[in-house]
Amino acid sequence: MTKSDSSPVTAVDRACEEFLRKAISRDFPDDGFVGEEFGSTSGNREAVWIIDPIDGTKSYIRGVPFWGVLVAREVRGTLTTGVIHLPALDELMYAERGKGAFLNRRRVRVSRVSSLRRAYVLHGSLECFVARRKVAALAAVAARAATVRCYGDCWGYSWMLKGCADALIEAEMHPWDTAAPKVIIEEAGGRMTGWDGSGSWRTPATVASNGLLHSSLLKTLRRP
């Protein structure tokens, strides 16, 4: 089954989002929702939960374990909480503003690599770079970085939290893709912005990094 944008959707996507909405509403009955499968539901307008029931549906369908559930909360315009669960890998990433980032209950920090020449950089789906006409920008990063690999979706963020990767570049994202990772990466000491440097989690083209590489990555992406 496919949606209007030709992306796949399964019964599990829908059931997962329904379950999360109901579970959250029991404790936060006045909050609103923004979800990939069921859109927006207004609440008290001060607090909104952002849900991606399965980030990496294509992987899920094919039995590739690099998919996850993303949940974030925005309060009065500020993202306060982010959770990423990778069930098939038994990994749980989570963060709350001002309280640090955790991976399976262990506090984590991003890497300290400060040179793009030594950086291990991940990127999302190549077809998205093609569709957005950003292949040249990605190639420019590849020419300058030590290693560039395609490991997108939420799995790439766990690599950053483990210090295995130093940055993750995406060309086409949705708000439910970016909200949870932004909180987690920033609480782990990194940065996540749009390619233009904006801090909005609603921007489609994003860069997450350990912070030390951020300026170099943005400069390279803007002027390949």
CATH architecture of 116-222: 3-Layer(aba) Sandwich (3.40)
Single-letter amino acid code for the residue at 150: C
pLDDT at 1 over 80: no
Q: What per-residue confidence (pLDDT) applies to 44? A: 73
Residues forming a β-bridge with 209: 167, 191
pLDDT at 3 over 60: no
The two three-digit tokens of residue 106, written as one number = 């262990």
Q: What per-residue confidence (pLDDT) applies to 5? A: 59
Band of the pLDDT at 4, cuts 50, 70, 90?
low
Numbered ranges of CATH 3.30.540.10 in the chain = 11-108
Expressed in angstroms, the distance from the first to the final Cα of the chain is 38
pLDDT tens string 151-181? 878 999 999 999 999 999 999 999 999 999 9
Interval 171-197 mean pLDDT: 97
Numbered ranges of CATH 3.40.190.80 in the chain = 116-222
Band of the pLDDT at 2, cuts 50, 70, 90?
low
Interval 172-193 mean pLDDT: 97
CA distance 187 to 190: 7
SS (H, E, C) 16-68: HHHHHHHHHHHHCCCCEEEECCCEEECCCCCEEEEEEEEECHHHHHHCCCCCE
Q: What per-residue confidence (pLDDT) applies to 117? A: 98
CB 16 within 8 Å of CB 53: yes
Which CATH code is given to the segment(s) 11-108? 3.30.540.10
H helices of 71-166, in order, are: 126-131, 135-144, 155-162
The two three-digit tokens of residue 76, written as one number = 């009065």
Interval 41-53 mean pLDDT: 87
Average pLDDT, the chain: 93
Band of the pLDDT at 223, cuts 50, 70, 90?
confident
Band of the pLDDT at 224, cuts 50, 70, 90?
low
Q: What per-residue confidence (pLDDT) applies to 74? A: 96
Band of the pLDDT at 142, cuts 50, 70, 90?
very high
Describe the chain by its helix, strand, coil percentages, rounded to 5. 35, 30, 35
pLDDT tens string 88-130? 999 999 999 999 999 999 999 999 999 999 999 999 999 999 9
30's CB contacts (< 8 A; 6+ apart) are 43, 44, 47
